[in-house]
């Protein structure tokens, strides 16, 4: 077991994922179900139905799960929903927008980018201008919370502009889904993707796509990948209740349990509320210790916080990281071009007491 030197538990993961999960979620995996087991098929049905419920998409939207990490389902979304004669406009203000660009390059999908600074949200007015100027853009892709910085993008405004210009919206809500509300009746999207292991607090291993049914039906034949063909994955599940290829059975059992715990916590409002508390405790505490956040509070999503590297020449990130790790807290290096930074996450099965513990550890390491 990966015990830290001075604690008796697995490290608390203050990272963008994988994340800390509850004991009960881990225990839910202590079963071996065959993929044709009626109980397993029922669990799949229940998980998919509950995910659709989170966006209030009952009757209008479908859930297609997919094996792999989050990026697998981002790639699947782009190659299924953007037809070969379409063109995607990617709103970029961080690494996950850039990754969508790379996906388009791999698949030779026609795309353009609208690039913003990493410490600024994407701008719906600039989007409106670009859409008005270019009739050939069929789809717009946006990252809900850009995990690179933790910045919250204005999803509703982006969706409204996209809809009013008659284009389709594709959303990477990976790090926000389950903690920040998305109502499919108010925010029009063709497809939105997220994964089992971020704010829904399951274990890593699968992503899912929530899609408007008509838009999903229209994707038939678009995919240039067998494994990532969401239309065929959906048809398989609708046909016999089974995944096309070996399902991540243990991951789905854990996810079903994680969704029980999500609902017990009060769904998006409860989960988001705990993360907002975590974020407030973390940011207030770090500021009290002299750290500065990259983002002003009004741009900060309660998901992951980017701190500027202190200018003190005695501060050495590796020693800081190692000291926290020894005390049972894992943080994350920054990934920015605008500034030297590090990140601390607020998501996963952590509460304000873990944040206070992390602050105590920061204080102790700085003292040393
Ligand atoms: C975590 C994340 C992903 C997926 O990353 P994986 O490492 O493939 O799980 C995609 N987009 C965003 C915004 C994310 O935070």
Q: Which DSSP string do the residues of 78-101 spell out, in sequence order?
A: HHHHS-TT--EEEEESSHHHHHHH
The pLDDT value recorded for residue 61 is 98
Q: Is the CB of 153 under 6 A from ligand 1?
A: no
CATH number at residue 305: 3.90.1150.10
pTM equals: 0.96
Do 211 and 190 contact (CB within 8 A), yes or no? yes
For residues 156 and 172, membership in a common domain is answered with yes
Query: Cα(211) to centroid of ligand 1, in Å?
Result: 18
Domain that holds residue 200: 23-264
* pLDDT per position as a tens digit, 99-119: 999 999 999 999 999 999 999
Cα-to-centroid distance, 308 and ligand 1 (Å): 22
When divided into structural domains, the chain yields a total of 2
Looking at the fold, whether 164 and 233 belong to one and the same domain comes out as: yes
Confidence category of residue 77, pLDDT binned at 50, 70, 90: very high
Q: What is each CA distance from 182 to 32, 154, 185, 189, 338, in whole angstroms?
A: 34, 12, 9, 10, 30
User: Does residue 190 contact residue 158 with C-beta atoms inside 8 Å?
Assistant: no
Last-in-domain residue among 264, 292, 308: 264
Residue range 195-239, pLDDT digits in tens = 999 999 999 999 999 999 999 999 999 999 999 999 999 999 999
Q: Does 149 lie in the same domain as 64?
A: yes
pLDDT value at position 91?
98
Tell me how far apart the alpha carbons of residues 89 and 316 are, in angstroms, rounded to a whole number. Answer: 40
Looking at the fold, whether 224 and 328 belong to one and the same domain comes out as no
pLDDT tens figures, 29-76: 999 999 899 999 999 999 999 999 999 999 999 999 999 999 999 999
- CB of residue 147 inside a 6 A radius of ligand 1: yes
193 Cβ inside 6 Å of ligand 1: no
Does the pLDDT at position 3 exceed 80?
Answer: no
Q: Which of 203, 236, 264 is the last residue of a domain?
A: 264
Strand partners, 139: 88, 168
Q: Is 7 in the pocket of ligand 1 (CB under 6 A)?
A: no
Query: Is the backbone peptide bond immediately before 18 cis, with ω within 30 degrees of 0?
Result: yes
Q: How far is the CA of 304 from the centre of ligand 1 (A)?
A: 13
Token pair listed for 76? 């699947």
pLDDT of 4 over the 70 cut: no
For 313-330, what is the mean pLDDT? 95
Is residue 335 within 8 A of residue 346, CB to CB? The reply is no
Residue 5 pLDDT > 70:
no
Given 224, 248, 264, which residue is the final one in a domain?
264
Mean pLDDT in residue range 295-317: 95
Q: Which two tokens stand for residue 268?
A: 């998006």
pLDDT surpasses 70 at 7: no
Are 238 and 276 contained in the same domain? Answer: no
CATH code of the domain in which 146 resides: 3.40.640.10
Do 243 and 274 share a domain, yes or no? no
Same domain, 59 and 31: yes
Q: What is the mean pLDDT of the chain?
A: 96
CA pair distance 178, 70, nearest whole angstrom: 15
- Residue 335: pLDDT band with limits 50, 70, 90: confident
Distance 72 CA to ligand 1 centre (A): 9
pLDDT over 90 at 309, yes or no: yes
| Residue 338 pLDDT exceeds 90 | no
The pLDDT of residue 352 = 98
Note whether 213 and 226 are same-domain residues. yes
193 Cα to the center of ligand 1, angstroms: 10
**Ligand 1 atom 2 nearest Cα:** 174
For ligand 1, whether the C-beta of 361 sits within 6 Å is no
Percentage of residues in the chain having pLDDT higher than 70:
98
Q: Are residues 195 and 64 in the same domain?
A: yes
pLDDT range class, residue 334, cuts 50, 70, 90 = confident
In this structure, the answer to whether residues 144 and 159 fall within a common structural domain is: yes
Clarify whether residues 222 and 362 are in a common domain. no
Residue 1 pLDDT more than 80?
no
Residues 164 and 300 both lie in one domain = no
């Amino acid at each position: 077991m990966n015990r830290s030197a001075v604690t008796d538990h697995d490290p608390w993961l203050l990272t963008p994922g994988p994340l800390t999960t509850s004991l009960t979620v881990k225990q839910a995996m202590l079963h071996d179900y065959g993929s044709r087991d009626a109980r397993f098929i029922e669990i799949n049905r229940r998980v998919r139905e509950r995910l659709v419920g989170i966006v209030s998409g009952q009757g209008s939207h479908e859930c297609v799960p997919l094996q792999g990490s989050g990026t697998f389902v981002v790639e699947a979304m782009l190659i299924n929903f953007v037809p070969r004669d379409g063109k995607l406009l990617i709103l970029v203000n961080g690494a996950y927008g850039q990754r969508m660009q790379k996906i388009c390059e791999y698949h030779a999908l026609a795309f353009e980018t609208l690039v913003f600074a990493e410490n600024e949200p994407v701008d719906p007015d600039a989007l409106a201008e670009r859409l008005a100027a270019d009739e050939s853009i069929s789809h717009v892709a946006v990252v809900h919370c850009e995990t690179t910085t933790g910045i919250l993008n204005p999803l509703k405004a982006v969706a409204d502009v996209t809809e009013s210009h008659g284009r389709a919206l594709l959303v990477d809500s990976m790090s926000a889904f389950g903690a920040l509300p998305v109502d499919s009746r108010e925010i029009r999207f063709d497809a939105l993707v997220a994964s089992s292991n971020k704010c829904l607090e399951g274990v890593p291993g699968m992503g899912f796509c929530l899609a408007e049914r008509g838009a999903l039906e229209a994707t038939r034949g678009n995919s240039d990948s067998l494994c990532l063909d969401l239309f065929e994955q959906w048809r398989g599940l609708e046909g016999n209740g089974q995944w096309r290829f070996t399902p991540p059975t243990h991951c789905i059992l854990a996810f079903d349990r994680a969704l029980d715990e999500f609902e017990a916590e009060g769904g998006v409002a409860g989960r988001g509320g705990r993360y907002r508390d975590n974020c407030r405790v973390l940011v207030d505490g770090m500021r009290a210790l002299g750290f500065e956040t990259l983002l002003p509070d009004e741009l900060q999503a309660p998901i992951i916080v980017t701190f500027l590297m202190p200018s003190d020449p005695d501060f050495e990130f590796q020693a800081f990281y190692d000291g926290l790790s020894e005390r049972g807290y894992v943080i994350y290096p920054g990934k920015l071009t605008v500034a030297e930074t590090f990140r601390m996450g607020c998501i996963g099965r952590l509460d304000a007491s873990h944040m206070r513990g992390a602050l105590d550890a920061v204080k102790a390491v700085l003292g040393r």
